[in-house]
Structure formats: structure tokens, C-alpha cells
Structure 1
């Protein structure tokens, strides 16, 4: 399965059309990650100002947007997006609210999606929590709101079979999907807890190379990587297709402090550009309705139904399906939920500070769960004092 970034023009879905078609891939390098981590403030301000100029007439009253531009990844951890797009759940609820066009863009990792969101190229995105935190901190709370959870769990540190403990990682070369991404922060924080230093530029006791997931698989198979901290299905692909062993299952590092749910940690959340949300609350509510429907379907479907539907969506979004054993293992490691597990975010921020990719900040205002909690039949989820619910 290739790792691609698709431009909005390459995948266009109206409420009456079928699944997206595959388009031109655009490689994103480490430079994009550095921009979003270290210099996003200007891009955010520009995007916000341009958004205000485009739709000043709708700010006062709030109107449905003519289209929604949505970003997500071709990963199993993004199954609510995959299913919501593939099965027309999101397009259907958007149409009912007066938003007749859904445009989607497929990314490889969170920092690139955040850069597109802050630059005004997309309006909402499924991402990992740490890139959302980074954007919120860099913009002083002006860029994004977390409006729902999507997936919990589904990330592991997998290594070459000869590595049996963290002490053997010194001097090794590991990979993560992108600098500053959720798995990148988790790995750096874990290594720090074991007394192993890393730096964002690849220095320290352990070398961490931000690498696209498909390339990580090939490099691991060729013996050029000692391990990687990856989301599903890539952890399962390295285990089942490349002979990797699990050194750390991230769920074992979460004892429930802050969330009350031992073993659960946020992997994928749904965020929206704050300016867009203020201008088009009806469209955001419609997006949430489609999202909740997708999560509900994933929660009720049989394993076979989930595997078949998610595989079809992966083929549409990323070009290929997964082997049966890989998707079965991957889906078994993930909990799909609308709860963003807000109580985990102080630790996620602290881990980002430890990793050297963000700074200490006040996260109050990051969450706006009011529209989610107002939906009929939706169990109330908490913002843990970090926003409105």
C-alpha cells in the first residue's frame, strides 16, 4: 500500500457520488514537519485572516458551507473516516445540512495534515493528538478545535527479533511516520523514560528517522532499520510480513490516569479549523453526524464486516488492500470511539515537551464537544476541563 498525499483536486466527492478515485501523489519531506513544528504561527495567522476575508458575510449568522474539505490518512486507525467516506455516511449528512460537496485529501502523517489545515487547504481533519496540540500551542489557541474522538489504541514499537529490551536500543536506528507526530512523540518520551536521549535532528543515543510508513516496511525488511513506533496497520505489517517482534505495546504504558480507562490512549481525533467552525456550524454538526454514524457502524459490525469494508476503503484511498491476517490483527488492536479521551492530553503535552517538539502551554480551549454531545443518542463525553462539553 503506497503512502501518498493527494491534492483536493484529485479526490472530489459529491453527496451523490461513489468512493474517491486515486490521484497524483506528492511527497512531503521533513522540511514540512519542521515548518509546522517551529514556524506555524505565521501560516496560522495568514489562514485565519484569509478565511475572515473570504466569508465575512456568513460570520454573523452562520451558514452551511458549500463544500467541506476533509483530510485523513490511509491507515486502519482512521477507519471512521475511511468508512464514513467510502459508505457515503459523511456526504449524506452534509447534503442534508445544505453542504453538497465533500472533497477529501489523503495524508501520510499528522504534521502535514495540520499544515494544510492551518494554510486553509482543508477545513477539518482526522489526525493524531500531538499534531493538534502542537498547532493549538503554536497559534496560542486560535487554530483548531478537537470536536470528537475517532480511535484509541493501535500503536506499537516493533523491532528486529534480536532486540529483547530497551537497553539494547542504544546506538540503534528507529523510525516514526513524521517528526512531531503522535507516534514520534510517544517513542521519544518512552526512550527518555529509559534514560536514552534523542534530538529532533536525529542525534542522541538513538537515531530516529522520520520515514513514510511504506518505506519503513521496506527498510526494515532490508535490515536497514532496527525498529519503528507505528500505528496500525503498519505495526501488524512489520510483525506479519517482516518478522518484527513487539517490544512495546503502547496500551501497556497507559494506566488510566486522567481518563479512567486503563490501556486506552487517543490515537485519532477529529479536528476542525476554528474560523470555519464559527462560520459554518451547521456543516460541522453534519460532519459530526456522519462521523458518529461511522463509529457506531464500526462498533456494531462483525470482524468480517469491518475487515471487508475497511479494506475496500483502503483500496479506494491508498491503492491496495491488506492481507486478511494483517487487517484482522490491526483491527483487533483498536477501539473506535467518539471520546477523545481529553484527560490524556496533559500527559501528551508533557511527552511532547520531553521529546523537544513542543513547549509547555495552557491547553484550555482545545476541546469543543458541544455539538458532539448535542447529537441525539450520543453518550456525553468530557472535555476534562480543557474546553467546552
Structure 2
């Protein structure tokens, strides 16, 4: 049975395979860097997006704020505010001018859906749609489940200064009412409410037009933790707390079984937060191609590297194996299985050199013995020239 030794071939093979760690580590590094870069770019894009949303909506709110002040300072509004019980025929020209003023103001901003003034002393409304009783106006345009007409009247009597009221009309539309009490008149009376109405869909339209991907979840949250631009993301917003949302912040949040990157931008005009939720899968998707390329590259590197590692190890090992076989054919000692080819060859070479030195030493010794023997013979038996003996 042929004896086996601990071969150096496996060490060579694994040392070549170890070199594969370089492209593996490089691929992991490239993927990690690409993912980090993608996340940073996504955050920057979201920052730009949220800044645009903030700028657009805040500009509209600023215009509404100016418009509320403009209406409050209007002479016809201040005149109509102090009228008691009902308007007379002599007041109609002022009311006509007031409606005309409101219509002109409304034409300056398509974001605004309606402008009206509720006069508490007369129970009437002047709006871009004309003059009518408050009850008729309510049932025609603002009937909702939260406020019946009695509560609506009470709402119009509140001492609001640029407050925002959210109502849900019976037709399914959500309206934001920007309210402000009329200015106190010379007579000391203050009995009117200026209201500028904005449809929720106008807010949502601004948001939708600025999305760079349809999977983004963008909404506007007020101080009461309400989503005011859409009813679609209310469940997502339930997991967010307005108080914990910091301006210019980015953080990860697991909501409804999905991971999101949440970006926050605060309004400069009112207590609104603009929130963008980016699905983490969308960010991962951007780096997916690099990830797949890295995996394919790793797979090819492993296959090709393993083949060449074996080929190079075998090619380098064959000459060594030939020398080992030559020595083993001449060796008389048994093979030590704990030693590899190099160690075994070293030991055999040392033994050969030792045997050679021993042989030379014995030959020198034998040469001296032979020399002494022949001298002894010559001295004991002299040479006879006559007999050649």
C-alpha cells in the first residue's frame, strides 16, 4: 500500500483562493458606497422636493394672509359689519361692490376656491357667488357632518385670528377654512368673520405635481396631528407624532410592515409640517443594479479564481511531485505522514548528505588501512629482482 504524506498542494490551493478575498471585499465596498451615495442623493432630492413644496404652499398661504388683511381693511366690509338686523336697499350698492371686490381677489390665485364674509348681525353672507342668507349659503356650499347650521353659526362667531378649520362636506370634499375676525369698527362692534376656503385637492395637486416617483408618500400635517392635503395617508400618519417631527430631519420608520425614510420640512407661515416618506425599497432599487453586478462579478471571480487557483497549484506542484517520487523510489525509510513534501525532501537530503559524508569518511579510513597493509607486506616480504618476487 502506497504511503501518503501531508501534501503542500492544499496549502497552495487555499493560498491562491485567499487572493479572491480582494475582489470580494472590493465588491462589498463598492456596493456599500453605492448604497450610501444613493441614500444621500435620495435625501438631497427629497430636501429639494420638500423645499419646493414648502415654498409653493407657503407662498399661497402668504397670499391668503395678505388677502385676509386686505378684506378686513376694506371700507365696504367695515360698513356692512355694523349693520343691524338686515340690509336695506341703500346698502345694496355697497354689497354689490363688495362682491365685485371679492371676485377680483379670487381671480388672483387659482389656489383659492371661495372667499366669503359672514355678517353675524344680519345672518347674511357676501361671497364671490353673491349675497344671500347664511343658512342658504351653508346648505348650498358648506353643508357637512361636523357642523350643522347652528354649529356653523357658532363657528362664525368665534374670536378667530387667522385660524384654520377643517371641514368635510357631504359631497366628500375636504375644505380648509382660513378664518379671521373682522376689524373692530369705530363703534366698537366686531361682528363679522372673513373666510377664505381652499379645497384639499388643490393642496394635493401641488404635492402630486412635484413628486419624482409615484411611490413617494407626501402629506401636510398640522399641529393637531391631522393630514390636511389628503385622506389617503392618514393611516401612515397615525404612526407619526407632530411633536417629534423636527425640521430638516431624516430618519427611518417602520410603518405598516414597510420601512420608510422620513424627511421633514417645517412651514415658515403656520404650524404645518411637510412630510415626505420614501419607501426604503425605492432607495434599494436604485442600488440594485450595482448589487446584482457585484454578485455576478463575485460569482465569476470565484469560479474563474477557483479554476486558476487549482491550475496554478497543480502546475507548480507537478515538478515537486516528480522530485518527491524520485526520492521516494530510492528511499528505504518509511514516509512520515505529518510532514509535507518540502519537509520530507529536506529530511531526505540531509540523510543523503550524511550518508555521503559517512561513506567518504569510511573510504578515507579504508584507504589508510590498505596503505598500511601494503607497506607492512613490503617490509615483511622484500622484493626479489632475480625471481621478480
Q: TM-score, normalised by structure 1?
A: 0.23
Q: TM-score, normalised by structure 2?
A: 0.23
Q: Could you say which structure has the higher helix fraction?
A: 2
Compare CA radii of gyration and give the structure with the larger one: 2
